[in-house]
Copies of this chain bind each other. A is one copy, B any other.
Amino acid sequence: MEECAMLEISNYLSANAANMKKSVIRELLKLTNQPDIISFAGGLPAPETFPVEDLREATDRVFRKYGDKILQYGTTEGDNDLKAQLIAYEKENGIDIKADNLLITSASQQALDMLPKLFLDPGDYVIAGRPTYVGALQAIQSYQGRVLGIPFSTAGDGFDMAELERLYHRAKDEGKQIKYIYVIPDFQNPSGICWSLEKRRELLQFSYRENLFLVEDSPYREIRFLGNPVPSIYEIDQKGENRGNVINLKTFSKILAPGTRIGWIIARPDVIQKLVIAKQAMDLCTSVLTQKMIAEYMSMGRLRETIGRTCSIYREKRNFMIEQLELYMPKRFDLTWTKPEGGLFLWISLPHFIDTEKMFYRAIEKKVAYVVGSAFYFDNPETNAMRINFSYSSREQIEEGIRRLADVIKDEIDQHDAGPRGQTMPEGM
């Protein structure tokens, strides 16, 4: 009979697979599928920002213009028309690149998967923010990589650089292999932090001094609705010492539409070549059809206009959400939220006694959802924070959702203040 048993898959998993963390976001999102829940949990762009009619037109044109060519295999490096458009686009952004500095990816998540594959052996470390984007953590973990988490400065202008030095040297002294730095300098997911020019320069100098590649993930860079742009770290390197150790990840997911699944990596040609070999074995090539569609759309000259409109819509939603927070949230020194100048998210820090994972189920009962802050930490998570998204919900949903969320938080605070004595006693007693 033993032979007849079905194979138990857990006995067959690689150490990589055993190390893959099922996304907390994803699991919790399943609870938010009821239609009457107002969810601030996802990271979805506002669908009203997608230029549906223009993209339909662009797609129709490339079918008529190229016929079977858009349905055939393409090169691993990416479509030349799209690359030409991207070179022009990045030139306007102040960056000077050639075709061999570019690799088209199946959006940024594929790039985030390639980097640990290229650089990490099991147990190797990546320097990243505390908190940081959960998709990057998942990719690193799926190759048994580890994260040296660096807290952000209280000014919210980048890493706490003294902590970076301290933690880095301690890790080196402990013999840890540190392979690259991963940062999202523009409107970081989840914190919304935008790095100052000075901090960008300092981090670049740190990467030079320590001979580290620096991965700059910029999905939200163009989604700035307040203040002035700060040069990307890629640009600072290029216009300065030009050592070429910055690898910049970009995507159409937030500036055009995520369903296109098209992103691009900007890096030195030798880095691009290694990534091309990795991509060959991962998916051969990205869809020519969707690449050509975007190239055609870009040639219409309306991408900047679309981004501008998206920024207006998000500015309005962000302002409105902050208004509602100020209106409904309990006033306490230990209940704060970020006021980002771009991106899609706010980060709310709550009183230390609130565990947002435990509170999540009560929030669902009250028909409102968020992402638990702990999801964004590789280790030793902060448990009293949450990420909320302002791009997807309507004005009405934002008002009602924030009111519900404030009620849930008020209940937590009230319960804590009135809580049974036995439970508030220090553990030592």
B-binding residues in A (CB < 8 A): 3-4, 6-7, 9, 12-17, 20, 22-23, 26, 42, 44-45, 47-48, 50, 52, 55-56, 59-60, 63-64, 67-74, 76, 106-107, 109-110, 112-113, 116-121, 124, 135, 138-139, 141-143, 179-180, 208-209, 211-213, 241, 243-245, 253, 257-261, 268, 270-271, 274, 277-278, 280-290
Contacts and interface: CB of A to CB of B under 8 A. Distances in A.
A69 B258 CA distance: 10
A71 B286 CA distance: 16
Given A14-B116, A55-B71, 18 more contacts: A3-B208, A12-B179, A12-B213, A13-B119, A13-B274, A14-B119, A20-B278, A22-B277, A23-B280, A44-B72, A47-B71, A50-B68, A50-B71, A59-B59, A72-B257, A72-B258, A139-B282, A261-B283
A20 B281 contact: yes
Contacts of A68: 47-48, 50, 52, 257
Contacts of A268: 6, 9
Contacts of A241: 4
Nearest to A59: B59
Contacts of A56: 60, 63-64
B259 A70 contact: yes
Contacts of A120: 14
A271 B286 CA distance: 25
Nearest to A69: B47
A139 B281 CA distance: 5
8 contacts: A7-B245, A13-B274, A16-B118, A22-B277, A23-B277, A44-B72, A106-B283, A138-B280
Contacts of A288: 259
Contacts of A208: 3
A259 B73 contact: yes
Given A14-B124, A142-B278, A3 B209 contact: yes
Nearest to A124: B14
A143 B50 CA distance: 38
Contact of A142 (B45, B271, B281, B283): B281
A118 B119 CA distance: 19
Given A20-B281, A260-B289, A52 B71 contact: yes
A311 to B, nearest CB: 18
A4 B243 CA distance: 8
A22 B7 CA distance: 35
Contacts of A277: 17, 20, 22-23
A103 B231 CA distance: 41
A142 B117 contact: yes
A26 to B, nearest CB: 7
Nearest to A180: B12
Contacts of A282: 109-110, 113, 139, 142, 282
Nearest to A286: B261
A119 B14 CA distance: 5
A293 to B, nearest CB: 8
A158 to B, nearest CB: 22
Contacts of A119: 12-14, 17
A261 B258 CA distance: 16
A260 B283 contact: no
Contacts of A141: 281
A63 B59 contact: yes
A278 to B, nearest CB: 6
